[in-house]
Chains A and B, each alone.
Chain A
Amino acid sequence: MKTWVTPGGVHPPENKHQSLTLPIGTLPIPEKLLIPLSQHIGTAAKPCVELGSAVLKGQKIAEAAGPVSVPMHAPTSGTISAIEHRPIAHSSGMLAPCIEITSDGKDQWQAHQGVADYKNASASTLLQAIAEAGIAGMGGAGFPSAVKLNPGRERPIHTLIVNATECEPYITADDSAIRERAAEIIEGIGILSQILGHPDNIMIGIEDNKPEAIEALEPHVQGSGISVRSFPTKYPSGGEKQLIYILTGQEIPSGGLPADIGMVCVNIGTTYAIKRAIVDGEPLISRVTTMTGDACGINRNYETLIGTAVSHMLEHSQFNEERCSRLVMGGPMMGFSLTSAEVPIVKTTNCILAPSYQEIPDDEPAQPCIRCGLCAEACPVSLLPQQLFWYSQAEDYERLEAHNLFDCIECGACSYVCPSNIPLVQYYRHSKGEIQKARAEKVKSDHARQRFEFHQQRMEQAERDKEAKRAARREAAEQAKATAGAANNSAAKATAEGQSGDSAADIIAAAQARAAARKVSPEQQLAKFERSIAGAEMRLQMAEEKLTEADAQQTDEQKNILVAAVEAARQKLEQAKGRLAEHIKEHKGEQVD
């Protein structure tokens, strides 16, 4: 079957045979297991157990926080002895939140069972089970599998690629897993195919340096529609984009995902974990990890519980500290040196390498670039490593981006071939970090600008409002002054000349003017009189009523009071009527006029 050839690539010594002499072993359960809450790409999981609580093997101890996150499970039974920041396997050597479990030695499973009738289950049920099992890509990056396997309706998947390349030297975790667990792996691939709606092509990509593994797979793929494609060994063929190109000849656009061209690429170790989750109901609590390197007496693969300290593995591998030049998590090309042996194995740890000084000597000092161009020949992504190196040194981030720095897969092929021992990849990683930091700062500063502008606007608005209020008050005051002034003028006229300087006279004049201003019109006065008549009539009526009511039972004295009240009311009414009549008489002439 046709395969394509990627540009560049290197052929470092494979060193895979050392760890393949023994079958996959198991380690004694360590006394303490440390489970970091972030072992994957995305949001860290959220603890859902309390300090001191007892947990069973496979019990969930941390929940997924958000859509791109995975839960964590207890790798063995015991008690939660710490939830705190601890050193984890990270190139920074920084601390991160972890849950520590002290094992009770019983290794007691919680009740578990797979998805009932999984062969007829819907994709969403299966995805849910995968998410619940805490499965994240086990090839290296650790992307939550349930998210990857659900690319959405708008991106139908026609090709499923299972990555069994394992191109890095020393690592044999996938190789040994295939040799011993081929049937389960194929079953896992079947489940994946079911989730993705039975894509047209299902391929297992494997390098031709694993003949035993290919042989182990062959009988199981017969008639299943899965094809095993082997291709010449070359580093780095195992990168997702490289493997897709090798198997299909198609390139993923820069910055894109395989799903953009209708493909999904899954590590073969992940398919095994998916099978265990769906069929057996076991969450991801252990993985195959290669323990290798000349500083270890025993080189082999272990089914390692997640959270096992590296030191625990070394203890059981006849580790000779004096011979060891460094401890590497991952392979010699892309792995990173550990600062402490106490860090735990996580879901993405495929190898612990303890090389001797002969295998991996200390770094030679970097020498100037001689522009030999070997790096450009080795680059599997056809970038220009030496140009990137110059720009990285010059901190010219614009040009770095223009030269597609972010397409670099950090495979280390350029550093490997560099005759001047320049740590090229570290330059790229540094520059990528700086660019990302600058982008984050840009977002932050834009946000700050927006807030500042809003603040400014708010202050101006407040100032304007205040100003408007002030103006309104001023206007009101002026108006009041104007009316008072007008009244003043008329009053001044009335009080004639000569007294103008006298303040007492002024006040009197002002008061008179106010009184004049208050003077009501005849119509208003008329209305007032009428109102008072009506009121007096009502009062009279009420007084009379009271008197008739009281007539029967009240004493004479009380009766007299009531009679007087009626009389008073009547008089008031008379008065009011009189005033009204007077008023009408007074104003009759005016009204007629």
Chain B
Amino acid sequence: MIETIAQYPILAALIALVGLGILFGALLGFAAEKFKVEGDPIVEQIDELLPQTQCGQCGFPGCRPYAESIANGDAINKCPPGGQATINAIANLLDVPAPELDAEHGEEAEVRTVAYIREDECIGCTKCIQACPVDAILGAAKLMHTVIADECTGCDLCVEPCPVDCIDMLPVEETIKEWHWPAPPTTADIIASDLRPQL
């Protein structure tokens, strides 16, 4: 064996290298099959960060299509319900600078709102039910409809189709259980004596 190798050093090296190549190739091929990644995980991750209001303000029919579009290089600042917090989170995930919210797609709401149907005025046309992306509206043809407030994402999509304009987007009132301490006021003053009136 040793003698053969010594006799044909070039050939031995060639065989060894080709052998290694085949071995690692097989290993890689096996690993690629064994640890195959289904779909694009980055889409899942972006979708996790989006607020899931399914409002379509970004121009896509739902949060997931927008997540897919972001994964393909679309701008990350098209989501008004998520606001700056979502933009920052996605920027952090994709390791890109965080832009301001694109005003073209709407403004970040100060308070969360949910839809309420003025039930006396509802004519039971079912148009809002068809518009609701999360099935949060209950009702039947020619019967009064109502919104399940807990399920409403506040996407606004039901307001426009209503022929009698009986849907209001009302702010969600904060309960004592949801309340939490506000951030302490930031004092820009460097030293306390600066607070004294100028002499």
Chain A hits for B195, CB < 8 A? 365
Given contacts A367-B191, A449-B63, contact A437 B134 (CB under 8 A): no
- Contact of A91 with B by CB under 8 A: yes
Q: Which one of A114-122, A241-249, A250-258, A423-431 is at the B interface?
A: A423-431
A455 to B62, CA, bound (A): 12
Complex contact B187–A449 (CB within 8 A): no
**Cα A364 to Cα B195 with chains together (Å):** 11
- How many cross-chain pairs have Cβ atoms below 8 Å apart between A and B? 80
A216: chain B residues at CB < 8 Å are none
- Majority secondary structure of chain A interface residues (helix, strand, loop or mixed): helix
Whether A430 and B187, one on each chain, are in contact in the complex, defined by CB atoms closer than 8 angstroms, is: no
Report whether B180 and A432 are in contact in the complex, using a CB–CB cutoff of 8 Å.
Answer: yes
Query: Does A365 lie within 8 Å of B187, measured CB to CB?
Result: yes
In the complex the two chains form, is A433's CB within 8 Å of B180's CB?
yes
Give how many A residues have a beta carbon under 8 Å from the other chain's beta carbons.
Answer: 36
Given contacts A365-B189, A426-B181, A433-B181, contact A446 B133 (CB under 8 A): no
What chain A residues lie within 8 Å of B178 (beta carbons)? 437, 440
Checking A96, A367, A437, A440 against B176 with a beta-carbon cut-off of 8 angstroms, the contacting residue is A96
Residues A448 and B180 in contact, CB atoms below 8 Å apart: no
Instruction: Say yes or no: is A94 at the interface (Cβ < 8 Å to chain B).
Output: yes
The answer to whether B52 and A368 touch across the interface, beta carbons within 8 angstroms, is no
A185-198 interface code vs B (CB 8 A; 1 in, 0 out): 00000000000000
Nearest CB of A to B166, in Å = 23
Decide: A364 near B192, CB < 8 A? Known: A96-B176, A437-B178: yes
Q: Which of B174-199 contact A (CB under 8 A)?
A: 174-176, 178-184, 187, 189-192, 195
The residues of B that contact A423 with a CB separation of less than 8 Å are 184
Chain A nearest CB from B127 CB (Å) reads 15
Taking Cβ atoms with an 8 Å cutoff, the residues of A that contact B are: 38, 88, 90-92, 94-96, 364-368, 423, 426-427, 429-430, 432-434, 436-437, 440-441, 445-449, 451-452, 454-456, 458
Given contacts A426-B181, A427-B183, 17 further A-B contacts (CB under 8 A): A90-B176, A94-B174, A94-B175, A365-B189, A367-B187, A367-B192, A429-B180, A429-B181, A430-B182, A430-B184, A436-B180, A441-B51, A449-B52, A449-B63, A452-B133, A452-B134, A455-B132
Closest 9 CB pairs of A and B: A433-B180, A445-B52, A429-B181, A451-B134, A448-B52, A92-B179, A449-B52, A423-B184, A430-B181
Q: Identify the B interface with A (CB < 8 A).
A: 47, 50-54, 62-63, 132-136, 151, 153, 174-176, 178-184, 187, 189-192, 195
